[in-house]
Amino acid sequence: MDASATIQLLLRRLTEGELTAEQCGEELTSLRAPQLSVGDFARLDLDRSVRTGFPEIVYAPGKAEAELRDIITALIEHGRSNILVSRLAEDVYHRLCSEEITARYYIRSSTAVFAAQPPESGVGRIAIVTAGTSDLAVAEEAELACVYAGSTVERFADVGVAGIERLLQVIPDIARSHVCICVAGMEAALPSVLAGLLPIPVIGVPTSIGYGVNEGGVNALLSMLGSCAPGVLTVNIDNGIGAAAAAHRINSLIERGHHE
């Protein structure tokens, strides 16, 4: 039985009077999973998804293929599913696959999911908006992280300010979301426009898309940080995972508030 199922059982026993509050608290404390050492190169946080609501993400660059294999294997052996590996080369993905493990690879964002068990339906609603088609790689990374974490996502692509009428057509649909992730490169004006039009939080993701003066995304980053519209929160350049983690938490908190 995984930690989530165990917690549900304990809470059920508490509500039915089989456990006192003190006994339930002691049982919950004992559930805290230890860190798991993998060789001398990794220390996995098995408790992360229970503690934060967002799964462990494996960042592939800088890791040897054998190290990635050992990390993924260790997570699966400890009952983890939907293991996202970001920025993974396609040829390495194919070498890491096996017939025993369900896995998927998303070429655009170079994201792999091992022990894949996508939720049948997500909670709440997160809008992911891109200024241009070239921003879709980072947007897909954010979308996959949100979906496999358990949020419902709707994507609105290529609605940048170079053709503002495209954005105005979809604003009513975006506004029905709990939170908006906006992915933009070049001058990255889109998050400011969205923050001025929407009643929901806007998380800006600057991308490294753009010509010379864009400086690998620095121009977009500074534009978002210097937004004149209040309500724009900004993550690092090309950091779709960071935006997804923040958006999923906001979305989950709002959904929890609705149910309570």
Q: What angle do CA 119, 122, 126 make, to 5 degrees?
A: 135
What pLDDT, on a 0 to 100 scale, did the predictor assign at position 224?
Answer: 94
Contacts of 251 (CB under 8 A, 6+ apart): 123, 124, 125, 126, 146, 151, 178, 179
Residue ranges of the chain that CATH labels 3.40.50.1970: 123-259
d(CA 217, CA 65): 29
Q: In the CATH hierarchy, which fold is given to the domain comprising 123-259? A: Rossmann fold (3.40.50)
Q: Which amino acid is at 2?
A: D
What pLDDT, on a 0 to 100 scale, did the predictor assign at position 94?
Answer: 93
Q: What angle do CA 6, 8, 11 make, to 5 degrees?
A: 110
pLDDT tens for the chain, 260 residues long, are 455 667 778 788 888 888 888 888 777 766 665 677 777 888 887 777 777 888 889 999 999 999 999 999 988 888 788 889 999 999 999 999 887 788 899 999 999 999 888 777 788 999 999 999 999 999 999 999 999 999 999 999 999 888 889 999 999 999 999 999 999 999 899 999 999 999 999 999 999 988 888 888 999 999 999 998 998 999 999 999 999 999 999 999 988 876 66
What pLDDT, on a 0 to 100 scale, did the predictor assign at position 121?
Answer: 78
Q: How far is CA 189 from the centre of its chain?
A: 23
Q: Which amino acid is at 133?
A: T
Sheet containing 57-59, strands listed edge to edge, beginning at the edge strand earlier in sequence: 57-59, 83-86, 111-114, 103-106
